[in-house]
Amino acid sequence: MTGQKAVITLMNTKRTTIRHANMTTLSIRLPDGLLKEVDARAKALGIPRAEYIRRAIVAMNREALAQKRRERLMEASKRVREESMRVNAEFSAIESGDEA
């Protein structure tokens, strides 16, 4: 494969451990070094290459979803913090007798 880009085709196999009712064939291009790493890691885990790649995609999807969730929580936290500061300022004004 030297000088060529590797093409991987993911197909429905009986050895698949991620179960889906329907599976679509997908062709992707990978650098040779990445393909060798994928093959080595899949072999070490005792799973087919396609299964390893499916698991990697599932893990990346979960991470992307978790990142989006963290961003939404941070934004909500910022809004709550700003509202809390406003309420605290109102209480301080009442406590100090600076009511308007």
* pLDDT of res. 15: 46
Q: How confident is the model at residue 20 (pLDDT cuts 50, 70, 90)?
A: low
* pLDDT tens-digit map of 33-75: 999 999 999 999 999 999 999 999 999 999 999 999 999 999 8
* pLDDT of res. 47: 96
- What's CA 56's distance to the chain center, in Å? 10
Q: How confident is the model at residue 19 (pLDDT cuts 50, 70, 90)?
A: low
Full 3-state SS string of the chain = CCCCCEEEEECCCCCCCCCCCCCCCEEEEECHHHHHHHHHHHHHHCCCHHHHHHHHHHHHHHHHHHHHHHHHHHHHHHHHHHHHHHHHHHHHHHHHCCCC
Domain boundaries, the chain: 6-96
Give the integer Cα–Cα distance in Å for 47 and 35: 15
* pLDDT of res. 18: 53
Overall pTM surpassing 0.85 (yes/no) = no
* pLDDT tens-digit map of 73-99: 998 888 888 888 888 888 888 888 765
Q: Which residues, including other chains, have CB under 8 Å from residue 49's CB and lie 6 or more apart?
A: 8, 38, 39, 42
